[in-house]
Structure 1
């Protein structure tokens, strides 16, 4: 690929621009909710995944999501417990990501995008990160999310929907995500894509990939 074929730098949110809880146990600890588990709860995992997917596709409201998730918990968690943990899930921005996005936005013939699996409530929370001075997500020129598109990564449909919404396609897009399956799907869709280690310095990793591609004046 010619480096100058890249016209769009697109990010995932959680694990790339913002730190998030990586497990229910961590979420409980951050939220101050006692962590409780049982074989009954474990048995409901497939149902919880289905509920979460519907929620992130925008098919159910927040209140309905909390109630449905509590139903799968075998009485260990009330709907309000689910809400408290849910609202504690976003931990804050990674250092340096706002400045990196600003540099990209200031580069001629280059735009920034976001493609995130998320929900309406977390979407609002993403925009509130980093105040004062505005959030990293608020700096993105083409922000798109699963609950707005009605689709989820790693399904190919969401990558095509993003292309249709933004007007950028295939190798014009350089995408960063923390999940290998989402990166693999993006590559299958013809995008340039790289995995970001959520446990490390994400801005530094992104800058390294940009430099390797000769994008955005990164060296």
Structure 2
């Protein structure tokens, strides 16, 4: 929970995965979502460390999706092909949380607050909130209702690096306790608080919209 404040926030900032969007949390979940097995040796610590390093390079825009899939496949020593890594990558995003779209719509109708996104993501995932080239509906459209977007692959920084939080401040013109931030990871919340933001850790396994609504109601935000 946040500590009490006399003024409602000016900007409501959301993480994407684990707050608005349900995602896979580990390799086994990603494989299951892609209907692929967890092959023996894939979860060895050395491979996990290398995958994480590549994921970090990918989410700050140092490599593109093809390079990411090729290099992750190479780290597995043939356990997975680049095509299979691509399937896992695409299956990682599951579905928007029930009630998330409705919550954002209600908040968007409140002219007293601005809405924003602060996400560690990558271009291929991020594009899925937009309509496809053929005009068909996007997979995960809700974040399009947020006015301000700071995505890690675009600003070349990722949470909990202070630089990405400062990029959000520069974009919105808001500072410190003018911002309320919702994220599911403790280290990201800690960094937000260290620069004066109000910040609330969300339980990604629970009803995330209800958690957000409860906190905002406490802070005096109108719905």
| Aligned residue number for residue 181 of structure 2 | 175
| Aligned residue number for residue 121 of structure 1 | 124
Deviation at 1:136, TM superposition (A): 1.1
| Aligned residue number for residue 105 of structure 1 | 108
1:45 pairs with 2:48: yes
| Aligned residue number for residue 55 of structure 1 | 58
1:17 pairs with 2:23: no
Deviation at 1:133, TM superposition (A): 11
Instruction: State the Cα deviation string for residues 90-137 of structure 1 (Å, max 9, x = none).
Output: 1110111111111211112211000000000000123469x5898211
Instruction: Give the 3-state SS of the residue equivalent to 1:113 in structure 2.
Output: strand
Q: Structure 2: where are the runs of 5+ without partners? A: none
Q: Which moved more, 1:140-149 or 1:35-44?
A: 35-44
Q: Structure 1: where are the runs of 5+ without partners? A: none
RMSD: 2.0
State the TM-score, normalized to the length of structure 1: 0.92
| Aligned residue number for residue 167 of structure 2 | 161
List aligned pairs for 1:127-146, cutoff 5 A. 127=130, 131=137, 135-146=141-152
1:202 pairs with 2:208: yes
Q: Which runs of 4+ in 1 moved over 4 A?
A: 131-134
Deviation at 1:2, TM superposition (A): 3.5
Instruction: State the Cα deviation string for residues 30-54 of structure 1 (Å, max 9, x = none).
Output: 1111211317843232222221111
Residue number among 77, 86, 91 corresponding to 1:88 in the alignment = 91
Residue number among 27, 32, 35 corresponding to 2:30 in the alignment = 27
The answer on whether the counterparts of 2:100 and 2:209 sit within 8 Å (CA) in structure 1 is: yes
State the TM-score, normalized to the length of structure 2: 0.91
Q: 1:22 to 1:128 in 2, by over 3 A?
A: farther
